[in-house]
Structure 1
Amino acid sequence: MPASADEAPEEAPPAGSKSSPAASSRGRRSDLLGDAPSPPPLAPLQEAERILQADLKCLQFHPFEQAGMEYESVLKEIGGFGRVQKAIFLALSFTSFKAVLDLELMVLTLHESKFRCAQQNSSDYVAQNYSEHCRISRLVGDDTNFTLINETCTKFDYQHGDVISKSMVEEYNLVCDRKHYATGMMSVFFLGCALGMLFGTLGDKIGRKKILIVCGVTDLITTILPAFMPTAETQIFARFLKGFPAAVYYQGLLIMEEMTEEKHRAVLGNLYWLFWCVGYMFSGVVVYIFKEWDKIQLFSTVFCLNYIVIFIVVPESPRWLVLKGRVEEAVDVLKRIAKWNGIKWEHKVSKVKALDVEEEPTGNILDLVTYPEMRMKSIVIFFNLAMFAMCYFGLSTDTTFITTNIVLNVLLNGAVEIPSSFIGWLGSDRYGRKYTTVIITVLSGFCLIAVPIVPTGGVYNIVKAVVAMVGKCLLTTGYCIADVWAAEIFPTSVRNNGLFLATTLAMLSNIVAPVINTLSDVATFLPGLIFGITSIVSALSLLLLPETKGLPLPETVPSSEGLVRGRERQWAIETFSRERAQSLLDDDDMEAKKKGVMVELETNHRALHWEPNVSNNNHAENGNDDLSDFDSANSTAKLFERSRIKALADEREAVQKKTFTKWVNSHLTKESLQVDELYLDLRDGRLLLRLLELITGDQLPRPTRGRMRIHCLENVDKALAYLSDQCVHLENMGAHDIVDGSARLTLGLIWTIILRFQIQDVVFDRRDFSVASTAVPYMSAAPAGLAYSTPSAGRVSSGDSRLAKDALLLWCQMKTAGYANVNVRNFTNSWRDGLAFNAIIHKHRR
């Protein structure tokens, strides 16, 4: 608190200020020494037992029973990661299997086999071997007089010795002057993916599950469509549409993040992509079995059956429902999950229904660039995910990155990505997201640069394959962690927008990945050099982001502004209640402390039922009668002392609450507003903002419309930000404390506002104290260390006015005048001996 109890003649500061321990110690000494009347024999025991029962109950509280419900605790209540979450995880993870299968089947069926001109079968043309012939020589004339004329090939023969007997390249003759059609087909596919990701941002508006359903239906249609396209141009259009459902697997990742307890997110966020690796490898198996591209395409339709499972098993995100004020639906989802997990959760439902309903939707995408810290984080995340995606898909679309056998290349590419999920999980969970991602990605960049430089032939082929696999594995690991990291940095109100905008830009960057691969025709080292340097530069930029390991998810953009590099722990403590933040930051340690406190309280509770006769007899046998009597008496005294202190603290808090409520209403009544319950009515921040406007005359930011928790946090954040701009120091106080209805901190906030805007700036006429000045010699001069105020127009001159603090000191001097050894000159050492306090009390009791 900025002021102590000594600075107010009539009102004490809120509970928890520096004066409380002193008062408590004085009361304790007087009670134990017999100055206070003794209570009835059973009263202290009964009162202490009631207090201890309350303490035990407080330790067993749950955030859903508070005004501000914590979503993380709700997830823990309904199972954390029970069998329902596991089933949802499997169903949603399978969408990544289908996504990579579509991509790799397209890449494999666009693989260019060796070919030659079909005209060479005619007698007039020179015979050709299978290579990459775009022109053919034709004999003109007879055997003795002929001329060779080079002609452009119009038809082609393809070597069917490769795995694929009929590819799209063969179907549409995508070679020579039509080779760009194959590159364009992949680029257009990524363009469709980018638009699909952009569509995914609507998840903040219409819901996560609706996005899944729309993408599922679109995926089914666009998986069948390409098999029936007659020309290369229509096939390109079909591939553009095929990219549109790409949002489905990122939407699935987002739902898993919002339905999984924090301690499981690092694991699931990385293992989510395990199905991607399996799908990567399985694409080679499918090509090897079916061999013809149209049959391969139709077979992939089978995996769309997973959307039926998703429709049945996966519910709407409860976090999104609560955010949108659709509390009844959120309750139903949470009840259903708890029931399937075998947990009874019905008795908590009434508390959930107490939440207010949102009046206006949230999820403004401009918030990503409006706030400076959020803007910086967004730029870094957008850049990094775009570079990660470009490098990753550049390697994925290169069918000869590891080996020239396309099926083996796909199998190895998919296989090396399996350990990446586990490396990402263990690394990010143990060492954090930031440095794990940076180190791994930098190493992968050097590997990508080295791959084309390694010579070919003999043992060098093995070395090249190993370097390529290590580079691909490390790059995939960094990509996995970056996805989880981005989802944890974006606040809940814009998480969907931020994540899908990032992936949209990533998919747009993928458009150039196939083009970069074609640069190998110019110089073999160019693609690896570009991808490697890009990885290293993007990794170093990640050092600007904060670490999110062990932190709760930020809920609003204003509250996330304090989450910056180097201040992660402070942000958690300042933004959330201290107890909850510490428990999330060091869960194991806090659990041990909680158990220790529980044991101590239960031991004290058993002491309440002490039976003197039994205890005395036991000690008598050991010759310790006196010690037993002393211990029992001491225990009773302690219990009575504790009950007495608790009763006085409650009484003091009630007086403060009543006084501050009247003070707040004295200003709000000017606007026909009123506070009935101080701790509850200030929670939404609206009355707090209006109170500050009435007191200061300043125009504060308009309150956010809506009455749910996230809107309350935003409004209180605005009020606290204004106080901070006015140089008002608020120690250990955040928006969550006020929204949660913390009695001590709410009273402390009001007291701080009174001191800053009502007492500190008040100017008193010095002539009011003229009598006192003549009566007390040492009052004629200004107190040491106190300065006169500079009055505004219309007030008395500076020589005739004092600040309220000066006036208060003069009042104390006047009241203590005539008391021996009492000389009040300041609010520090003049009060240390207690005589000044006693003098003022004695003056008013006479």
Structure 2
Amino acid sequence: MTFVELLARLGGMGRFQVTYVAALAIPLLMLASHNLLQNFTAGVPEHHCRPQPTANDSAGDVPLLVSIPSDGHHRPQRCRRYVEPQWHLLEVNGTVNGTANGAATEPCRDGWTYHDGVFAHTIVTEWDLVCESKRLRQVAQSIYMAGILLGSGLFGVLSDKYGRRALLTWCYLQLGATGAGTAAAPTFVVYCLCRFLTGLAMAGVSLNSASLCMEWIPTEARAVVGTVNGYCYTLGQFVLAAVAFGLPHWRWLQLVVSLPFFLFFLYSWLFVESARWQVISGRPDLALKGLRKVARVNGRKEEGDKLSEEIPLLGAKSTFGGFSTSFAYYGLAMDLQGFGVDIYLSQLVFGAVDIPAKLASVLAISCVGRRVAQGGSLALAGICILANIVVPMELQPLRMAFAVIGKGSLAASFNCAYIFSGELFPTVIRQTGMGLGGTMARVGGMVAPLVRMAADVTPVLPLVIYGAAPIISAIATCFLPETRNAPLPETVRDVERR
């Protein structure tokens, strides 16, 4: 008897599976909040140098016009000020009188003045991550992604050795604790350290949630369950926009999106460990106990009582694509300020496009297969990103439209990869294999913020890089095996036989 046949005998997609999937899906709401959090906690407000105090006046009494040079749009420059106030720019009545061309300027030696508005309290305003230090904002996000990178490899191996449930429980606790620690960080260095540890736990939550779902549900339900989990991530983007709008102070926002993980930690003790993993790990007695519990919850107690340890034993007899999807996805999603549209509206639009995109992906996955769905979504994303190279900056609505379609295509690709990767690897190394794919995805997520710095060389260079990567991955996807309607492989030999 195969494990698929065994699950069908114990109720298939019964009450246990539905409850289990729901309990695993709820924490996914908050994963999006952490991944995209720096759009709000690291927002950059309008700012300029603090004017230099004069002998008889405080800095606040010096008119801005005579202290700060203007940029090409007649706004105060952000990172330079006059060495000496240019009083000749004003007449007695305060009107403009000429310019200060050729006047000496200097960096902001006395700090910055930040304008009140959407981003009045962020890590940028708290630690002055502007001008010479502006790159630290992107570095902080890359450090967080580096944590997810390390966690993808580390927790993948540990989960194959010690089990899915135990590692998931630990990661819930770590994510809640380090997320709350980030909110209390006294310095930027401590902030980055806590974000790194949060990213480490994030990877463990994502990997183990995926495996537990995959290993407890029947074959015909995998695409639907994977899409439901994807929609939870989408809904989490709406939650983030709403919470960020209500809590503009970055510390409170950070704390509120972290505290729910303590609740997830408490109820995770009720989870049942994967019977597939227990059998492969030589623990058939524990697998049998778990299977009988599933049978009771599904109303098949008599079937569960008939099981013996021999029955489950009989049933036990893509990485570059992940890199490109994550790389391009975070390249778009982490630059909401760059589209010239209200950031809260942008967050809602970028989240809303996932709804039709993931619906389309589940239809494609079920009808034409995993390989076509994955490759097609990657190719469309790359084309949309590259299209923005030829769209003038003045046509912001059109640029936004291409970006939204590209982001939706990448969300569909994530949905495909979530299902496809779990089906490619056998149970004995499923977490290790998915961890490797996750590692490559996090390399992409870590590098994505840094690629934005290439805009200093030429503005279109980041788009060229973001667009080329998914197209190359789409070509590579053509060489992967199709797994639609195939049972999950349990051993490496099963994969070779397939």
For normalisation by structure 2, the TM-score amounts to 0.88
| 1:350 Cα offset (Å) | 4.2
SS of equivalent to 2:337:
coil
Unmatched segments (≥5 aa) in structure 2: 53-59, 90-99
Contact 1:331 1:349 in 2 (8 A): no
| 1:91 Cα offset (Å) | 1.7
Provide the C-alpha distance between the structure 1 equivalents of 2:410 and 2:192, rounded to a whole number of angstroms.
29
Which one of the candidate residues 378, 382, 398 is aligned to 1:445?
382
Instruction: Map 1:347-386 to 2 at 5 A.
Output: 348-352=305-309, 381-386=318-323
Q: Is the counterpart of residue 561 in structure 1 residue 492 in structure 2?
A: no
Instruction: Map 1:63-78 to 2 at 5 A.
Output: 63=1, 70-78=2-10
Task: Give the aligned partner of residue 240 of structure 1.
Answer: 196
Contact 2:332 2:403 in 1 (8 A): no
SS of equivalent to 2:478:
helix
Task: Give the aligned partner of residue 252 of structure 1.
Answer: 209
Contact 1:417 1:473 in 2 (8 A): yes
Which one of the candidate residues 147, 155, 168 is aligned to 1:192?
147
Provide the C-alpha distance between the structure 2 equivalents of 1:140 and 1:289, rounded to a whole number of angstroms.
40
Task: Give the aligned partner of residue 279 of structure 1.
Answer: 236
Q: Is the counterpart of residue 326 in structure 1 residue 261 in structure 2?
A: no
| 1:174 Cα offset (Å) | 0.2
Provide the C-alpha distance between the structure 2 equivalents of 1:193 and 1:150, rounded to a whole number of angstroms.
43
Provide the C-alpha distance between the structure 2 equivalents of 1:418 and 1:309, rounded to a whole number of angstroms.
30
Distance 1:99 1:140, change over 3 A: closer
Instruction: Map 1:331-480 to 2 at 5 A.
Output: 331-346=288-303, 348-352=305-309, 381-400=318-337, 402-457=339-394, 460-480=395-415
Contact 1:403 1:465 in 2 (8 A): no
Contact 1:136 1:153 in 2 (8 A): yes
Contact 1:211 1:251 in 2 (8 A): yes
Which one of the candidate residues 162, 182, 185 is aligned to 1:229?
185
Larger-Rg structure: 1
Distance 1:173 1:263, change over 3 A: same
SS of equivalent to 1:561:
helix
Contact 2:10 2:295 in 1 (8 A): yes
Provide the C-alpha distance between the structure 2 equivalents of 1:115 and 1:239, rounded to a whole number of angstroms.
26
SS of equivalent to 1:116:
strand
Instruction: Map 1:572-583 to 2 at 5 A.
Output: none
Unmatched segments (≥5 aa) in structure 1: 1-62, 64-69, 363-380, 564-846
Contact 2:67 2:84 in 1 (8 A): no
SS of equivalent to 1:164:
coil
Provide the C-alpha distance between the structure 2 equivalents of 1:169 and 1:152, rounded to a whole number of angstroms.
18
Provide the C-alpha distance between the structure 2 equivalents of 1:299 and 1:550, rounded to a whole number of angstroms.
41
Distance 1:355 1:166, change over 3 A: closer
Provide the C-alpha distance between the structure 1 equivalents of 2:108 and 2:454, rounded to a whole number of angstroms.
24
Contact 2:292 2:305 in 1 (8 A): no
Contact 1:172 1:232 in 2 (8 A): yes
Which one of the candidate residues 24, 27, 35 is aligned to 1:95?
27
State the one-letter code of the partner of 1:478: S
Provide the C-alpha distance between the structure 1 equivalents of 2:310 and 2:490, rounded to a whole number of angstroms.
20
| 1:294 Cα offset (Å) | 0.8
Distance 1:309 1:346, change over 3 A: farther
Contact 2:324 2:470 in 1 (8 A): yes
RCO higher in 1 or 2 (8 Å CA, sep ≥ 6)? 2
Task: Give the aligned partner of residue 113 of structure 1.
Answer: 45
| 1:267 Cα offset (Å) | 1.1
| 1:250 Cα offset (Å) | 2.1
Distance 1:452 1:115, change over 3 A: farther
Task: Give the aligned partner of residue 631 of structure 1.
Answer: none
The alignment-based identity, stated in percent, is: 28
| 1:517 Cα offset (Å) | 1.9
Distance 1:255 1:143, change over 3 A: closer
For residues 552-581 of structure 1, the C-alpha deviation after alignment (integer angstroms, 9 at most, x for no partner) is 122221332243xxxxxxxxxxxxxxxxxx
Q: Is the counterpart of residue 139 in structure 1 residue 77 in structure 2?
A: no
Contact 2:170 2:265 in 1 (8 A): no
Provide the C-alpha distance between the structure 2 equivalents of 1:355 and 1:100, rounded to a whole number of angstroms.
37
Distance 1:143 1:415, change over 3 A: closer
Task: Give the aligned partner of residue 18 of structure 2.
Answer: 86
| 1:422 Cα offset (Å) | 1.3
Provide the C-alpha distance between the structure 2 equivalents of 1:232 and 1:295, rounded to a whole number of angstroms.
16
Cα RMSD after superposing both structures = 2.4
SS of equivalent to 2:392:
coil
State the one-letter code of the partner of 2:84: L
State the one-letter code of the partner of 1:193: I
Provide the C-alpha distance between the structure 2 equivalents of 1:199 and 1:504, rounded to a whole number of angstroms.
9
Task: Give the aligned partner of residue 136 of structure 2.
Answer: 181
How many matched pairs? 469
Larger displacement relative to structure 2 (285-294 or 313-322): 313-322
Provide the C-alpha distance between the structure 2 equivalents of 1:96 and 1:275, rounded to a whole number of angstroms.
6
Distance 1:150 1:302, change over 3 A: same
| 1:305 Cα offset (Å) | 4.2
For residues 404-440 of structure 1, the C-alpha deviation after alignment (integer angstroms, 9 at most, x for no partner) is 3211111111111122221111110011111122122
Task: Give the aligned partner of residue 206 of structure 1.
Answer: 162
Contact 1:88 1:313 in 2 (8 A): no
Contact 2:381 2:407 in 1 (8 A): yes
For normalisation by structure 1, the TM-score amounts to 0.53
Provide the C-alpha distance between the structure 2 equivalents of 1:132 and 1:283, rounded to a whole number of angstroms.
32
For residues 616-643 of structure 1, the C-alpha deviation after alignment (integer angstroms, 9 at most, x for no partner) is xxxxxxxxxxxxxxxxxxxxxxxxxxxx
| 1:462 Cα offset (Å) | 3.0
Contact 2:45 2:120 in 1 (8 A): no
SS of equivalent to 1:153:
coil
